[in-house]
Amino acid sequence: MIDLYLCHGHVYVWNASAACDLRERHRIVGTFVGALPRLPRQNVRLGRPLQLMPEETTLLLNKGIARLLDGNIPPKTGEDASQAITEHRQQSFREQAEICKNDRKRKLHEMASVIAKGRAAKRKKLAQKEKADDKSSSSVSTSDVASSTWDQHEEEEEPRLSGEEMKELEAKLEKTTGYNEQAFLVQIMTEQDSEETQETIPWNYPTTDTEALRCRVFQDLWEKGYFLTSGGKFGGDFLVYPGDPFRYHSFYIAVCRPRTENMEALDIVRLGRLGSNVKKTVLLCSESETGEVNYTSLQWTGLN
């Protein structure tokens, strides 16, 4: 049973495995509305919680896949729970600090050749400076020969750090204690870890004929094996996908209209041109007298 939380009129899914289960097993997509911990100041990629449409929530409750809980009730916390959370965060900080230190040690070994070359170049410059200041040098040509000999020696032997030098660098790294706790990840508790059972609450949707028609159309298309998302961006009620929206484009724009509602010709033309421009088929969805869902497709074609 998947737990859905109703908070201020919206239904959310906080559990990560439950969100994956909804998408993979039940073809319920939803919309992520939470910020990512590592990238909080952007809205291209979002994370938990997963917000569900009212039609998705109604379907899950009718099929017995999920239960609805009150998300406005604050979790019960005491001194033991607060102490456990504090210890957990401190342990997480120590583990992340150790991982960071090991990562720096690994990078140190990877950059050992670069450090050795830098130290060799520094020693070479100091040697050249000492020879240039040596007044006992017999001639400039002798200095040039010595310099060329040094360069040839440096080219023949690849500079490497000795074992003592590497131990010295690792010792300095071990003494590093300047890790800022605010720079590490903090686990945010999104569910209450408690053995207490929370009572379900009623779901008051749909309340109008239009909402009931949307729920009926959504359930009928879902039972046919389609994935559905909100179609507000394309002027419809739902976007209908043949598979997961991560892999497929939508084929249809579902527009829910009561069978007794009159539609003007301009509205039909508008929907037909809209579907043609976005390369999708518009579906006019209505419910018959027997309760079945009828579909009328609109496709824009040229006149000869």
Residue by residue, DSSP assigns 16-30 as: HHHHHHHHHHH-B--
Work out the number of other CB atoms within 10 angstroms of the CB of residue 158: 10
d(CA 270, CA 200): 44
Kindly give the interhelix angle for 79-110 and 163-174, rounded to the nearest 10 degrees. Answer: 160
Cβ neighbour number for residue 83 with a 10 Å cutoff: 10
User: Of these residues, 5, 12, 241, 252, which one is catalytic?
Assistant: 241
Residue burial 84-114, b: 16+ Cβ < 10 Å; e: rest: eeeeeeeeeeeebeeeeeeeeeeebeeeeee
Whether 63 is catalytic = no
Please give the Cα distance from 40 to 22 (Å, whole number): 25
Is 295 catalytic? The answer is no
Annotated catalytic residue: which of 5, 226, 252, 280? 280
**Within 10 A of 181 (CB to CB), how many other CB atoms are there?**
11
The pairing of strands 47-52 and 10-13 is: antiparallel
Q: Is position 12 annotated as part of the catalytic site? A: no
Active site residue: 63, 88, 107, 249, which one?
A: 249
Cα distance between residue 78 and residue 245, in whole Å = 43
Q: Is 256 exposed, middle or buried (0-12, 13-18, 19+ CB in 10 A)?
A: buried
Coil/strand/helix, residue 95: helix
Strand, coil or helix: what is 301? coil
Going through the chain in order, the beta strands assigned E by DSSP cover 2-7, 10-13, 31-34, 47-52, 66-70, 227-230, 238-241, 252-256, 281-287, 293-298
Active site residues: 241, 249, 280
